[in-house]
Amino acid sequence: MKLSQYYIPTLREAPRDAENVSAQLMMRSGMVRKVASGLYSFLPLGMRVLKNVEEIIREEMNGIGALEVWLPHIQPKELWEETGRWGVYGKELLRIKDRKNSEFCFAPTAEEVITDLVRKDVKSYRQLPITLYQFGAKFRDEIRPRFGVMRAREFYMKDAYSFHADETDASNYYEKAFEAYGKIFKKCGLKFWPVQAESGAIGGSFSHEFMVLAETGEDEIVSCSNGCGYAANRERAAVEYGREVKSEDLCLRCKEKGKESPLRFSRGIEVGHTFKLGAKYSQAMQATYLDDAGKSHPFVMGCYGIGVSRVVAAAIEQSYDANGIIWPREIAPFQVILVPINFEEPKTKEWSLEIERELTQRGVSVLLDDRSERAGVKFKDADLIGAPIRVTIGEKGIQNGTVEVKERAGETVIHVRKEEILTHLIERI
Amino acid sequence: MKLSQYYIPTLREAPRDAENVSAQLMMRSGMVRKVASGLYSFLPLGMRVLKNVEEIIREEMNGIGALEVWLPHIQPKELWEETGRWGVYGKELLRIKDRKNSEFCFAPTAEEVITDLVRKDVKSYRQLPITLYQFGAKFRDEIRPRFGVMRAREFYMKDAYSFHADETDASNYYEKAFEAYGKIFKKCGLKFWPVQAESGAIGGSFSHEFMVLAETGEDEIVSCSNGCGYAANRERAAVEYGREVKSEDLCLRCKEKGKESPLRFSRGIEVGHTFKLGAKYSQAMQATYLDDAGKSHPFVMGCYGIGVSRVVAAAIEQSYDANGIIWPREIAPFQVILVPINFEEPKTKEWSLEIERELTQRGVSVLLDDRSERAGVKFKDADLIGAPIRVTIGEKGIQNGTVEVKERAGETVIHVRKEEILTHLIERI
């Protein structure tokens, strides 16, 4: 991809209302733009990262037998009344009236719609288990949207829902989903920590949050000696769930061992949440199946969310420096940025285009900075955008038959012979 | 994919409110379910077709240099007031108040948001042209939603917007987009016809609709002797654009030749629409760039939509029979359905799994009906689901070393030796 034909409107300074590092860097690197409070557009560069994360999630969800669906964003009040959540959800639920004055909401989550779907078609234990998931926009009308896309009102989410005949099957699947989540965040190149957590507005008996560790995290993680932990953030819970919370609600015990004495503190950003829902929704909505003896039971359910747009921001909070983003290779918008010092110099152009073509053929995503900007400007933008590897092509190097390779995360510049550049880069990607 | 682990809740009869063939067949084959009036969920089978169409569109859009973005579905009133469309759009626009009583709409289209995005970052002719596109949900609060996903209120759409320095560049790009649209619908395996059309609520000077030809189409296409045509449907226009329409508005002349005498009539379903917007939005929103002399001009714009979920329905309207859907290969949810007569018979199971594995390895999408249903039930479901090729594996054939191959579109059954089945199928796909 040639930068001159691409669209990366970088900024020298972040807007004043960008409160945290990821919001600032996503604005400055031209990944996102704010449309209104808590509403963001993803520009092409941000979209590439979002899509990389989405693809990693899709692969792992398919791997545990989950099937992709697409549910409407606009959901009828009647379904939300069946579970009582129309009344309970509070102002975070965006309520809408259509032209006929019928009431709807913009989905903040989809337990009602998915349970309705399954209860209408799944009647027998033979049809179980089943897991359905989707990617799509969710809306939560936060009273104080902030931190860019990290706590936006409209955000991009993967939500999955599983239906089982009994608690054992549901628990086994929960373990599978839990493992898949680990793989997902690992594949995204993130340091993370699953912690036991409160269930909040989603409810159910048991839940884990997946926290990306970052100094700037909103949540305090208290780790116990056995290495599991819990999340505690009174303010967020109060805001999100619209109710008074007591510290007991938040400082959930680390169930596995029962040890309550915190050993060390860390901060985290919630990027995923898995819930054992039990029969909370199926009972309320009379969603039942018949067992092999013809007896009726409510489905036992689980639900599994990942804030896809939040993962993007969290990855930045975990990996940046004073010059910009340092992308994990796995989700980087481009794996390599090629910086010709003077693209119009014939030999430089020839080398640049050749390296771009050959890398692209091998499936490496490459951004070629073919602009007629000064080298300093190009280096600044390259650092800001954060591609893991920068290859600089200059006349001096060309005379020696080499190009310069620098990893974004380090300081070392290596001179690599042109004929070895492919092998060199592919080993590193 | 094994059918026992998949989710295809087929129905013997379509619900009474499924008014046309595609709505009936999409319900019966378990592709979609209705959530409320004009609101549908895509189940896994429908989702596969939707994703196939999406991927074809994405490839062609990228091919003409369009860059993918993601815009918020919830858009602020202020932007829609700048173009006057907040007042003009009528009841089809789903209007929403947030918790602070600020006004928004659920995007039925995104000219305002995209123009706002570009005017803030694109200041110079050097940054032009630029084309941005997205996939996402759109909402149009139709007074009379019907025909299933074909005229749903919430639907899945690809919308693209291009920005140019002048009319010439905009026209050249319009031609490119027009060609790309042709490729897209051809790749989807559809018979279609681009017709000159009214511009309606989107506005601008010039537009084409891409009509999939089908007996059940909503729009009447009048073709002129030179092979181009125009769309005419007074009722739809009146409903969609919330205004009185005169027949002159609808019966647009076939511009190229100026011939107005219709030679023959056909019916079509609009699946795509390309617009030359000119400076309609950029002028209203003061979206300008500086030319090389430092003079300010409004962007010249184009916009290009495809109703992705509508393409799925239109493909069915174009290709079905009394037994179900006949998918074009290019967008079929599965290219091959394997029907073992008795999956539990050891040799049958062995052959079925072997053929499934080998086809999958070659990138062919296969659905293996491993259920313990009668052959008649399996054949009925296979016909309903509409995979282009059915391979039947039975004990008799196995004794002769053969399996049965039948194309969904035809009647002929061929006996193919097992060792030749791969080559045979791959030639046909």
List the CATH number of the domain containing A141: 3.30.930.10
Which candidate from A47, A71, A104 shows the least CB-CB separation from B41? A71
pLDDT band per the 50, 70, 90 thresholds, residue A224: confident
Which candidate from B35, B50, B72 shows the least CB-CB separation from A41? B72
Determine the pLDDT at residue B224.
Answer: 86
Determine the pLDDT at residue B276.
Answer: 94
Q: Which residue has the higher pLDDT, A261 or B162?
A: B162
**Phi, psi (rounded to 5 degrees) for B332:** -55, 140
Q: Which residues of B touch A99 (CB under 8 A)?
A: 91-92, 141, 143
Q: Strand A229-232 to strand A192-196: parallel, antiparallel, or no bridges (unpaired)?
A: parallel
A180: tokens are 């898949």
Which candidate from B47, B137, B156 shows the least CB-CB separation from A69? B47
Q: Which residues of A touch B73 (CB under 8 A)?
A: 73, 106, 137, 139, 154
pLDDT band per the 50, 70, 90 thresholds, residue B225: very low
Please confirm whether the linkage preceding B340 is cis (ω < 30° from 0). no
pLDDT band per the 50, 70, 90 thresholds, residue B131: very high
Residues A305 and A351 in one domain: no
Complete DSSP assignment for B284-327: HTT-EEE-TTS-EEEPEEEEEEEEHHHHHHHHHHHSEETTEE--
The stretch B404-427 carries a mean pLDDT of 95
Q: Which chain A residue is nearest to residue B98, measuring alpha carbons?
A: A94
CA distance B69 to A44: 5
Residue B363: which residues within 8 A CB-CB, separation 6 or more? none
Q: Where are the alpha helices (DSSP H) in A6-73?
A: 21-28, 44-63
- Per the CB < 8 Å rule, is A73 touching B154? yes
Is 50 exceeded by the pLDDT of residue A261? no
Q: Which residues of A touch B51 (CB under 8 A)?
A: 68
- Per the CB < 8 Å rule, is A113 touching B41? yes
Q: Which chain B residue is nearest to residue A63, measuring alpha carbons?
A: B1
Residues B359 and B258 in one domain: no
Q: Which residue has the higher pLDDT, A215 or A226?
A: A215
B74: tokens are 């919830």
Decide: B32 and B148 in contact? Cβ < 8 Å: yes
Q: Which chain B residue is nearest to residue A28, measuring alpha carbons?
A: B121
Structural domain includes residue B378 = yes
Measured in whole angstroms, the distance separating CA A426 from the mean position of its chain's CA atoms is: 26
Q: Which chain B residue is nearest to residue A27, measuring alpha carbons?
A: B121
From the list A317, A216, A309, A211, the residue with the least C-alpha distance to A269 is A211
> B385: domain CATH number?
3.40.50.800
Q: Which residues of A touch B44 (CB under 8 A)?
A: 67-69, 132
- What is the ipTM metric for this complex? 0.91
Residues B215 and B273 in one domain: yes
Q: Which of B264, B293, B321 is the last residue of a domain?
A: B321
CA angle, residues B3, B4, B8, in degrees to nearest 5: 55
From the list A194, A183, A158, A173, the residue with the least C-alpha distance to A277 is A173
For chain B, give the mean pLDDT.
Answer: 89
Structural domain includes residue B118 = yes
Is 80 exceeded by the pLDDT of residue A219? no
Q: Which chain A residue is nearest to residue B45, measuring alpha carbons?
A: A69
Residue A122: which residues within 8 A CB-CB, separation 6 or more? A128, A130, A163, A289, A299, B9
Gap from A35 CA to chain B (nearest CA, Å): 8
Gap from A259 CA to chain B (nearest CA, Å): 41
Which candidate from A35, A65, A92 shows the least CB-CB separation from B76? A35
Residues A291 and A228 in one domain: yes
Determine the pLDDT at residue B395.
Answer: 96
Q: Which residues of B touch A139 (CB under 8 A)?
A: 73-74
Please confirm whether the linkage preceding B129 is cis (ω < 30° from 0). yes
Q: Which chain B residue is nearest to residue A155, measuring alpha carbons?
A: B72
Decide: A283 and A213 in contact? Cβ < 8 Å: no
Residues A76 and A158 in one domain: yes
Residues B181 and B209 in one domain: yes
Is 80 exceeded by the pLDDT of residue B237? no
Structural domain includes residue B315 = yes
CA angle, residues B43, B48, B49, in degrees to nearest 5: 105
Q: Best residue in A1, A11, A35 to probe B by mutation, most B CBs within 10 Å? A: A35
Q: One-letter amino acid identity for B178?
A: F
| Range with the poorest average pLDDT among A183-197, A361-375, B316-330, B333-347 | A183-197
Give the number of C-alpha atoms closer than 13 A to the C-alpha of residue B340, restricted to the C-beta side: 25
Structural domain includes residue B133 = yes
Decide: A10 and B127 in contact? Cβ < 8 Å: no
Determine the pLDDT at residue B221.
Answer: 63
pLDDT band per the 50, 70, 90 thresholds, residue B241: very low
The stretch B136-153 carries a mean pLDDT of 95
Determine the pLDDT at residue A108.
Answer: 97
CA distance A117 to B35: 8
Is 90 exceeded by the pLDDT of residue A173? yes
Determine the pLDDT at residue B196.
Answer: 80
Is 90 exceeded by the pLDDT of residue A160? yes
Which candidate from B39, B78, B102 shows the least CB-CB separation from A72? B39
- Per the CB < 8 Å rule, is B130 touching A65? no
pTM of the model: 0.91
Q: Where are the alpha helices (DSSP H) in B64-208?
A: 77-82, 85-88, 111-121, 167-187
Q: Best residue in A10, A54, A70 to probe B by mutation, most B CBs within 10 Å? A: A70
Q: Which chain A residue is nearest to residue B117, measuring alpha carbons?
A: A33
Which candidate from A44, A91, A154 shows the least CB-CB separation from B69? A44
Under DSSP, the state recorded for B369 is -
The stretch A178-199 carries a mean pLDDT of 89
B44: tokens are 């896994």
Is 80 exceeded by the pLDDT of residue A226? no
pLDDT > 90 in chain A, percent:
80
Is 60 exceeded by the pLDDT of residue A71? yes
Q: What pLDDT, in 10s, does the model give residues A7-24?
A: 999 999 999 999 899 999
- Per the CB < 8 Å rule, is A75 touching B35? yes
| Range with the poorest average pLDDT among A312-326, B115-129, B220-234, B266-280 | B220-234
Residues A185 and A269 in one domain: yes
| Range with the poorest average pLDDT among A227-241, B48-62, B303-317, B352-366 | A227-241
Decide: A59 and A184 in contact? Cβ < 8 Å: no
CA distance B384 to B86: 44
| Interface size between A and B, measured as CB pairs under 8 A | 150
Containing structural domain, residue A420? 334-428
Q: Which residue has the higher pLDDT, A266 or A3?
A: A3
Gap from B134 CA to chain A (nearest CA, Å): 10
Measured in whole angstroms, the distance separating CA A281 from the mean position of its chain's CA atoms is: 26
- Per the CB < 8 Å rule, is B36 touching A76? yes
For chain A, give the mean pLDDT.
Answer: 89
Q: One-letter amino acid identity for A329?
A: R
| Residues pairing with B338 in the sheet | B368, B391
Determine the pLDDT at residue B119.
Answer: 98
pLDDT band per the 50, 70, 90 thresholds, residue B201: low
Residues B139 and B263 in one domain: yes
CA distance A90 to A201: 10
- Per the CB < 8 Å rule, is B9 touching A94? no
Helix axes of A421-428 and A346-361: crossing angle, nearest 10 degrees: 50
**A362 conformational bin, left if phi > 0, alpha if psi -120 to 50, beta if neither:** alpha
Q: Which chain B residue is nearest to residue A47, measuring alpha carbons?
A: B69
Structural domain includes residue A148 = yes
The stretch B398-423 carries a mean pLDDT of 96
CA distance B238 to B144: 12
- Per the CB < 8 Å rule, is A74 touching B154? yes
CA distances from A134 to A61, A308, B132 (A): 10, 11, 24
Determine the pLDDT at residue A428.
Answer: 85
Residues B281 and B377 in one domain: no
The stretch B107-132 carries a mean pLDDT of 98
**A272 conformational bin, left if phi > 0, alpha if psi -120 to 50, beta if neither:** beta
CA distance B79 to B103: 11
Determine the pLDDT at residue B192.
Answer: 87
Which candidate from A30, A51, A67 shows the least CB-CB separation from B6? A67
- Per the CB < 8 Å rule, is A117 touching B33? yes
- Residue holding tokens 């594949």? A187
Q: One-letter amino acid identity for B192?
A: F
- Per the CB < 8 Å rule, is B41 touching A154? no
Structural domain includes residue B327 = no
Q: Which residues of B touch A70 (CB under 8 A)?
A: 41-42, 46-47, 50, 156
Q: Which of B321, B352, B373 is the last residue of a domain?
A: B321
The stretch B267-286 carries a mean pLDDT of 94
Is 70 exceeded by the pLDDT of residue B259? no
Q: Which chain B residue is nearest to residue A50, measuring alpha carbons?
A: B70
- Per the CB < 8 Å rule, is A130 touching B9? no
- Per the CB < 8 Å rule, is B9 touching A137? no
Q: Which of B321, B343, B378 is the last residue of a domain?
A: B321
Residues B316 and B423 in one domain: no
Q: What pLDDT, in 10s, does the model give residues A33-70?
A: 999 999 999 999 999 999 999 999 999 999 999 999 99
Determine the pLDDT at residue A218.
Answer: 67
Determine the pLDDT at residue B222.
Answer: 56
pLDDT > 70 in chain B, percent:
86
Residues B384 and B340 in one domain: yes
CA distance B359 to B173: 40
Q: Best residue in B41, B103, B106, B373 to probe A by mutation, most A CBs within 10 Å? A: B41
Total of domains in chain A: 2
- Per the CB < 8 Å rule, is A35 touching B71? yes
Task: Return contacts of A87-92, CB within 8 angstroms, 24+ apart.
Answer: A88/A201, A89/A201, A89/A242, A90/A242, A91/A141, A91/A143, A91/A242, A91/B99, A92/A140, A92/A141, A92/A142, A92/A143, A92/A201, A92/A240, A92/A242, A92/B99
Structural domain includes residue B326 = no
Residues A350 and A313 in one domain: no
| Range with the poorest average pLDDT among A186-195, A251-260, B276-285, B334-343 | A251-260
Decide: A27 and A12 in contact? Cβ < 8 Å: no
Structural domain includes residue B328 = no
Residue B163: which residues within 8 A CB-CB, separation 6 or more? B118, B122, B128, B129, B130, B131, B282, B299, B300, B301
Q: How many CB atoms lie within 10 A of CB B365?
A: 17
B360: tokens are 């999958």
Element (H, E) at B359: helix B346-361
